[in-house]
Chains A and B, each alone.
Chain A
Amino acid sequence: NAGVTQTPKFRILKIGQSMTLQCTQDMNHNYMYWYRQDPGMGLKLIYYSVGAGITDKGEVPNGYNVSRSTTEDFPLRLELAAPSQTSVYFCASSPKGDRVEVGNTIYFGEGSWLTVV
């Protein structure tokens, strides 16, 4: 299993450009998440999905859009990039969300470094 795979790993965008961060997982997990992490700060939840066709906002959804057409993929779209969106983005997945069950946990990707100039 590859786990959670994010692409690209690094990207520089100009203000106003748009782009999509790709995330795919091969563990057949129902739950998927997008977080952003600003320098020296904790992770902030952007959007999450509890299954194909279902998405919901997290703490900081403004400026982003997501879709979940398949169980495997959960892309994050930035429509009009702004300098405030310069951050590290983490995609994650979980078999049953954050529910407390033995052996259940969240698996994170390696991160995507995005700079908006």
Chain B
Amino acid sequence: DAKTTQPTSMDCAEGRAANLPCNHSTISGNEYVYWYRQIHSQGPQYIIHGLKNNETNEMASLIITEDRKSSTLILPHATLRDTAVYYCIVLRRNTDKLIFGTGTRLQVFP
């Protein structure tokens, strides 16, 4: 599975959009981009995933560049409850193992 690179930490003002980048320059054609987040020391929570098209759900939007070497998770209106560690993960289709990196610690401030 391709490696990912994320900034260690980011800040965002409450009510503003939080844009979390992820670099996955070695991604291959059959690998998907997943995003999870972990609030406090709870178990990680699934957010969104995509292959090459941009995706949106009730939690967030995922923008994948045309060459698929990077992506951005967008929380359109960040709240204090969005303060968490966000993990970007690249997975092959039909793989059995979910491997986490170190993630980005997002701090939303009032």
| A→B interface (CB under 8 Å) | 4, 31, 33, 35, 37, 41-45, 48, 50, 56, 58-59, 88, 90, 92, 97-100, 105-111
What are 29 A-B pairs with beta-carbon distances under 8 A?
A31-B96, A37-B41, A42-B85, A42-B87, A42-B100, A42-B101, A44-B100, A45-B97, A45-B98, A48-B97, A50-B96, A58-B97, A88-B41, A92-B43, A98-B34, A98-B91, A98-B96, A98-B97, A98-B98, A99-B93, A99-B94, A100-B94, A106-B98, A107-B43, A108-B42, A110-B42, A110-B43, A111-B41, A111-B43
B94 CB, min distance to chain A CBs, angstroms? 5
The answer, yes or no, to whether B46 is at the interface (CB within 8 Å) is: yes
The answer, yes or no, to whether B21 is at the interface (CB within 8 Å) is: no
B45 CB, min distance to chain A CBs, angstroms? 8
Q: Which residues of A contact B91 (CB under 8 A)?
A: 98, 100
For chain A, what secondary structure do more than half of its interface residues adopt (helix, strand, loop), or is it mixed? strand
For chain B, what secondary structure do more than half of its interface residues adopt (helix, strand, loop), or is it mixed? loop
> What is the bound-complex CA distance between A56 and B49, given in angstroms?
25
Other A-B pairs beyond A35-B100, A97-B95, A111-B41, 12, CB < 8 Å: A42-B85, A43-B38, A43-B100, A45-B97, A45-B99, A45-B100, A48-B97, A98-B34, A98-B97, A100-B93, A100-B94, A106-B46
Number of A-B contacts (CB under 8 A): 63
> What is the bound-complex CA distance between A37 and B99, given in angstroms?
12
| B→A interface (CB under 8 Å) | 32, 34, 38, 41-46, 49, 51, 85, 87, 91, 93-103
Q: Which residues of B contact A107 (CB under 8 A)?
A: 43
Query: Which of A48, A92, A97 is packed against the most chain B CB atoms within 10 Å?
Result: A97
Whether A99 pairs with B95 at a CB distance below 8 angstroms is: yes
